[in-house]
Structure 1
Amino acid sequence: MTSHAAKPSHYESFSYVERGVDFPAVELSDPSQRRSGFEAKLDETQRARAERLLTDNVVISFHDHPQLLPADMADISTYLRTRQEFTAFTELRRSGLTAVFDNWFGVIGSTRRSGWKWDDLITTLGLRLADLAHQDGVVVARTVQDILDAKRDGHLAFVMGTESASMIENELDRIDVLYGLGIRQMGLVYAEANTLGSGQKEQRDGGLTAFGRRAVERMNALGVLIDVSHASDRTCLDAIESSAKPVAITHAGARAVWPIPRMKPDEVLKACAERGGVLGIEAAPHTTVSYDHRAQSIDSVMDHFTYAVDLMGIEHVAFGPDTLYGDHANFQRAISDVIGASTVFDAGDLEWERVTHVDGLENPTENFRNITGWLVEHGYRDSEIQAVLGGNILRILNEVWR
């Protein structure tokens, strides 16, 4: 039997194998490191209220990557070839989250710069589920009841999702396979077009394809939540119209608040809400900037939140921060060609400030504590806070997953 050496305490995943021996390894970020300085301005009574709201209610991140980035971005190529993605489980348990929609890095090319293929996805999904199965207090949520049970039992629920459906190629039955393996949410398309439709990088927006419409129908039939966060405007509208069930935008913002392709226009946001969908407000660096806050922070992110609430109704808004543990801004630069940063973050002649981190929403541990504090500070009612922390997501899941 192989004798495995002790591992640093923050390398919590894959305890049954040895980093650097059983698979390639790079030094990973320390998830306990913080750069954010934000703290909501609350008195003692308000602080107690914020803590109660976070503790007593189901809190769901509609989109996050709760894994560790390399400590040194020079190791990014090795990192992207490694299918064992390390999750900061102890840190997540401090976050106040009940459930997290966990979308891994298939779209940016773990083994290929052109993106994952089918075998890559299945292999990584199996490894991910094996890792989760060896963690105490962690469950994989396949039903709404699984999320509610996780809240009751004090567990953390992971909802398995993908940011793109490119890996199914032109085979509808692969959606069934993914559902059988636990996938409950799928993005139709990432930045580049695939067999289902157009992405945000495309100069010509072809919308949803004929195959994409068949895929939407199959996802409806199975009970897979459709996500159009990275889809082109026309693909978003086509998917919302074609779907018999509400469609989600799990991580985006409002283009009226910051005019870049990565954000959604009012037409898409209103269509999403009118059909019962939910928008999760994005917080990854250099996305949810705003006219009033040109250096992205929790304040600029919440500019998108307040605009979306006014436009869509508070019952159609939640949070999908899209954060991870480590130097997210440098990570974006390292993979800028793949995510299409020069295109999807293009604000034209507008001046804005590049940041090293999004103050107040740097990683999954702090996100919802700071969001809850901000909402309390700005006078939102308990019922409104409960809705945007998780209630709205539970409602759409009850409609889609049944």
Structure 2
Amino acid sequence: MVMKKAYKGYKAYEYLEKGVDYKEFKMPKAIGRVPEYYVPLTDEQEKRLLEVVDKSIIISLHDHPVFFPEDMSQVFEYNREGRQIAAYEALSKSYLDVVFDNFMDGTCTIGSKAGWKWNDVLHDLGMRLCDLAHQDFVIRAEKVDDIIKAYKEGKIALVPTIEGAAMLENEVERVEILYGFGVRLMGITYSEANSLGSGLKEKNDGGLTALGYKVVERMNKVGMAIDCSHVGDKTTIDIINASTKPVIISHCGSRDLWNSRRLKPDDLLKACADKGGVIGIEAAPHTTLTLKNREHTIDSFMEHFEHLVDVIGIDHLAFGPDTLYGDHVGLHHAFASNLSIKSSHEGTADFEEVEYVKGLENPTEASINIVRWLVKHNYSDEDIAKVLGGNIIRALKDNWY
């Protein structure tokens, strides 16, 4: 792994005193927590890999580039502190030029067990952005020019993102407040229904509400892209039809390959693509499985990618691995109700639970292996550039100002 030259060694919150200004938790190794795995390449492919990485803007459409405690029993206390630890050094060892950082989202339980409270979301955003302001390796991206700048300077552009909009309550103007905090992509619902529409957890999807239509319109006007990853099927179609801008499904897969509510049917994904949208392939544990690959690894993950290349075309695909630094399976167990884990797996075929997703353990490993897999399978330089970042940039140009 080659460290990005712009990284100078900053550690999260190093402007404060550990144990005095904030509570310290022991964190796991960012890289090497579990046995590392990298897609094997020939010498010739290794040479091509470096050329591809050098000339491609590599974007993760959905990740959580932060640490979670080594002792996952401490995760609730850690989250109540409202101060997640960004993994700057580990990011510097990734291939990423841009990461859509989803902050605490479904685990934003600073002041409430149920999460998604307005003050908690602002606390989370403000705390992380304060830390970001004290270093110069990761820059906050507010427009496409910031992405290009980070790529050219060997830095990483970070896009603040929120997975669900429950904290808007009935206040449409809160879209603008979040935009002012730097949020440039937001989901309409997070699994559970809210005042805007239905989430994927709901058995009865009533579609986008009257308030939901107003929020979609306001997000279009403000220049905040819309995410439908955790949104119910009918509500998703309503959003795609209502939005004047391309819609993003940042982390998902094909329900036609694996019957999980967490994934979306091919006809819905095609509807998103037909209006210029982009779909990022998901890698969180036990999501993008297939009947052929019931053990979750990079192979099942990329089976979803190849299937959707055939269904919707390569011009509308990207990668939103949804990884983090720490025990992701342990996090799912701890927050099973908040993250709707049980509901997501209802109706699925039998599968083997894994301790981690081989080849996609964290944002660093995932970013490297996705490129290695594409090179190994002889995708053209043009197509690789599209799915690594080009398709996303096109959609952002249509959404952002």
TM normalised by structure 2 equals 0.95
1:10–1:88 Cα contact (<8 Å) kept: no
User: Residue 380 of structure 2 aligns with which residue?
Assistant: 381
For the residue of structure 2 that corresponds to 1:123, the secondary structure is helix
Q: 1:41 offset after TM fit, Å? A: 3.1
CA distance in 2, matches of 1:122, 1:104: 11
Superposition pairs for residues 207-286 of structure 1, below 5 Å?
Answer: 207-286=207-286
1:10–1:31 Cα contact (<8 Å) kept: no
Superimposed CA distance per residue, residues 35-92 of structure 1 (whole angstroms, 9 cap, x where no aligned partner): 2453323211111111221122110000000000110011122012121110110110
User: Residue 54 of structure 2 aligns with which residue?
Assistant: 55
Mean alpha-carbon deviation: is it higher for 38-47 or for 171-180? 38-47
Mean alpha-carbon deviation: is it higher for 368-377 or for 21-30? 21-30
Q: 1:123 offset after TM fit, Å? A: 1.7
For the residue of structure 2 that corresponds to 1:352, the secondary structure is coil
Mean alpha-carbon deviation: is it higher for 358-367 or for 101-110? 101-110
User: Residue 78 of structure 2 aligns with which residue?
Assistant: 79
Unaligned 5+ residue runs, structure 2? 1-7
For the residue of structure 2 that corresponds to 1:279, the secondary structure is strand
User: Residue 365 of structure 2 aligns with which residue?
Assistant: 366
User: Residue 100 of structure 1 aligns with which residue?
Assistant: 99
Unaligned 5+ residue runs, structure 1? 1-8
Superposition pairs for residues 146-225 of structure 1, below 5 Å?
Answer: 146-225=146-225
AA aligned to 1:281 is I
CA distance in 2, matches of 1:23, 1:195: 35
For residues 138 and 297 of structure 1, do their structure 2 counterparts lie closer, same or farther at Cα, with a shift above 3 Å needed?
Answer: same
User: Residue 68 of structure 1 aligns with which residue?
Assistant: 67
1:301 matched to 2:301: yes
For the residue of structure 2 that corresponds to 1:74, the secondary structure is helix
AA aligned to 1:113 is K
CA distance in 2, matches of 1:36, 1:49: 25
Q: 1:259 offset after TM fit, Å? A: 0.5
Q: 1:143 offset after TM fit, Å? A: 0.3
CA distance in 1, matches of 2:194, 2:19: 35
For the residue of structure 2 that corresponds to 1:338, the secondary structure is coil
2:39–2:359 Cα contact (<8 Å) kept: no
AA aligned to 1:262 is R
Q: 1:10 offset after TM fit, Å? A: 9.5
Mean alpha-carbon deviation: is it higher for 21-30 or for 168-177? 21-30
1:11–1:88 Cα contact (<8 Å) kept: no
Superimposed CA distance per residue, residues 10-57 of structure 1 (whole angstroms, 9 cap, x where no aligned partner): 992111122332223322222132424533232111111112211221
AA aligned to 2:199 is G
AA aligned to 1:209 is T
Instruction: Give aligned pairs, total.
Output: 393
For the residue of structure 1 that corresponds to 2:369, the secondary structure is helix
For the residue of structure 2 that corresponds to 1:339, the secondary structure is coil
Superimposed CA distance per residue, residues 339-364 of structure 1 (whole angstroms, 9 cap, x where no aligned partner): 1111112244x221100000001101
For the residue of structure 1 that corresponds to 2:160, the secondary structure is strand
For the residue of structure 1 that corresponds to 2:214, the secondary structure is helix
CA distance in 2, matches of 1:175, 1:28: 34
CA distance in 2, matches of 1:401, 1:297: 34
CA distance in 1, matches of 2:324, 2:340: 19
User: Residue 318 of structure 1 aligns with which residue?
Assistant: 318
Give the 4+ runs in structure 1 shifted more than 3 A. Answer: none
CA distance in 2, matches of 1:231, 1:386: 28
